[in-house]
Every structure is written in C-alpha cells, then in structure tokens.
Chain A
C-alpha cells in the first residue's frame, strides 16, 4: 500500500490526465475498494459492475480531492461505497442475499492492519456506544444494510432503528469533537 502522500501525488497527476498515475493508483487501491463494494453487494457480478463506474468517477473528479479534508483512500472508498449503496438501494434486490446475517470478523478488531490515529479515536468512540447500537452502526457501514434490514435483524421497529442510528451518529460526532 502506498502512503497517503504518495496516493495524493498520484491523484494530483490523475487530475491532469496522467493515465500511468491512474493505473498505479488503481493497482494500489483496487483490492481495498473491491473488498468494500463486494462486502456491500455480496455478488461479484455486481461488484464488477460498480468498480469501473467508481474508478471512472475517481478519474473524472480527481481534481476535487482535497487533502485537507480527506485522505486519498477514504475519499476513494467514499466514492465506491456511495456507488455500491446507490445500486443496492435502487435495486432493493439485496434482501435475499442478507438472509444469513454476516456479523463477520470486521468488528472483532484489526489484527495486522495499519491503524491510523483517526481510526483509533473512532474505535474508542464506537466503544462508548451500547454494544447493540455499535453493531447496528457497523453493520450499516460495512454491509450496507438498510434500516428495514437492520430492523429485521435486531427484531425491532423502524423507528427504533432510526432513533438508535441517529443517536449513535450524534454521539460519535460529539465524541470525536468535530
């Protein structure tokens, strides 16, 4: 994995139309982005559909990347995740795929992955939430579950889910102090 600075330079080159830089950026980020969208979409065919779309957007809007407000990878992940979520929500077709809830290992914590200071703070804040609310937020983020899916999984009403989600998000914001 390249450093954020290296990726920032690549993005700057991409903004000027540098196709070689774009290929390097793709090589450095493809597995991360594919992992994120595959986790949400659960179907390799759909993930393969979203990837070119996401990278086209990255190519076209590289000039918008602002290192003061994002790191290159979070910026790129946000674009790819957004596209995957748009697809999932517009299709409404993921229901059957979510029959078996995937409470995967991702919540159990990182092992050898690079933990940034920002992530450490975020995890500390997540740790302050009720365990159930924390699971709700993480399932929403990682698996892209809708409020309906979360309500079914947590055997509660939509209003509850909405209240829990929003309360949790506001607490996270408060805890991060930003």
Chain B
C-alpha cells in the first residue's frame, strides 16, 4: 500500500505559505485547509514561521479609494453571518437543511463523519499523487493507526471547525447509493463560485460529466456546467439565491462529450449529494 510520506503534506503546507505552488497545487492545498484540520494547522504553523518576514517589506500607502471599496464590500454584512442570518427573509417554508433540529444534527453528524473520510482520502490522494488504483480499495479501517483514532474520536465541534482563511464553508459530497464518494463540490457562497473535484469517478471516453442543481423551485434541473478533464471547473452561482443553493440537491449525470445538448440531463444521473455546512449552525457560537 502506498503510504504518504509525512513530509509530503508538511512540504505542501510550507510551499503553500511560501507561495511557490502552481495554481492547481494551491487549489489542492486550499481544499485540504478547508477539510483537514491537521493540514490547516501545518499551514498556520508555517504562516507563523515565515510571517515575520513581512516586517521587512516597505509599506506603501494605498490609494484612498480602496477604503471606499472595502467599505462597500462589507456594507450590511455582519462578520460571517450572512449565510445563516435570519434577517434574510426566507420567502417559502424551506429550507429543511437549515433547521437546527435534532435529527438534522444526527444526519449532519453522519455526513460530517463521511466527509472526514473523504478528506482523508483526498489527503492520501494528494500525498500519493497517482495512487488511485490502490486508494480506491482503501477503506478507513485500513488506514495507518496514527490516522485512525483522530477520525473516530474527534468531537463534532472540532471536526467541523474550519480554520481560516477558508475559501469554502460548504461542501457537497456526491456519491452513488451512499457508497464511494465520486465528486466533491466545495462552495464559496460569498463569491458565488464552486469548485468540483473528481475524487474517483472514472473518465469515460467520448462522455462528459455534467453537474446539475435540482431544486423544487425549478421545474427541471439547472446545469452548473460540464466538469472538465481539468480537476476544477468554476461555474458561476450568481443566478441562484443562497436559500436555493442550501436546499438543492447536486447531481452529476453522464452526458455526451461537451455536455447535454438539450439543456436538461439526457444521460443517467450517477452521483448526487446535498450541501453540508462545514460550520454547522448552533455549534460555532458555542465555541469560545
């Protein structure tokens, strides 16, 4: 079995902070920061080690209009509140996913646990580089002992704590019949962008995977774009209200190369999942 060199993650964190990673590696590091508290801690440690160098940079007075743009950007936004602010008038009953109810927490707990597994997968994939064949067969219980306990015993509040800076506070794990996660979609609702990572779905010649948003607000699924052969695509979510994004189901269908010609899914819906809030409502505020 391929096992990650401990220093691989450490060096990814170090080079992320130093700045020498390319765009793709940076994106991978950002994913890990959002999903793997251990990796996020490494990044913070490197920020601390190298951060003092900023003292030697000559300060430059920025043009005054930048403050106006900063003010405009934060206007009306409480820090980190906008996504769960009750002030955002929910027009319809909905959304179940936002309710802070007991069963919901249990469901969330289960999902977070699954999601943790995915982050371990991604860690291993990132570290091992190419070991898909091996990793596909991996199950968490086969993980090295030093990785296992953390996953099983961690408190929910800790599990879901996302260290800053966090590009994504929400993720959706798309899977088939509750089995192996195939795609991981991370959402930056603030900027209304999403990133799709193909975790394990096999490439199919002459076919493309296409991501859909399915909401009871719409009569038919809305395309969020064809998932390219590149690891990421970044369709804009600007057209969608956060309430819809929260409550929607995200599905991937197999389409002719380049995507469905009809604008609606024409091939089989293979994988689906819903949004998980990475910082669950009701937990965050209790954290000192």
Residue of A47, A56, A75 touching B70 (CB-CB under 8 A):
A56
| A146 adjacent to B20 (CB under 8 Å) | yes
Q: Mark A86-107, 1 if CB is under 8 A from B, else 0.
A: 1001101000000000000110
| A89 adjacent to B54 (CB under 8 Å) | no
Interface check A116, CB cutoff 8 A:
yes
| B52 adjacent to A78 (CB under 8 Å) | no
A22 to chain B, nearest CB (A): 7
Chain B residue contacts of A109, Cβ below 8 A:
56
Interface check A129, CB cutoff 8 A:
no
User: How many of chain B's residues have a CB under 8 angstroms from any CB in A?
Assistant: 51
Chain B residue contacts of A32, Cβ below 8 A:
54, 57, 59
Name, among B57, B61, B65, B166, the residue most crowded by chain A CB atoms within 10 Å (CB to CB). B57
Interface SS majority for chain A: helix
Known contacts being A55-B73, A62-B79, is A78 close to B47, with CB within 8 Å?
yes
Chain A residue contacts of B55, Cβ below 8 A:
110, 113-116, 119
Which 6 residue pairs across A and B have the least CB separation, nearest first? A74-B51, A64-B164, A31-B59, A34-B62, A119-B52, A89-B23
Seen from chain A, the residues whose Cβ lies within 8 Å of a Cβ on chain B are 14-17, 19, 22-23, 26, 30-32, 34-36, 38-40, 44, 47-48, 51-53, 55-57, 59-65, 69-71, 73-75, 77-79, 81-82, 85-86, 89-90, 92, 105-106, 109-110, 113-116, 118-119, 122, 137-138, 140-142, 144-147, 150, 161, 165-166, 169-170, 172-173, 176, 178
Seen from chain B, the residues whose Cβ lies within 8 Å of a Cβ on chain A are 7, 10-11, 14-15, 17-23, 26, 44-63, 65-67, 69-70, 72-74, 77-81, 163-166, 190
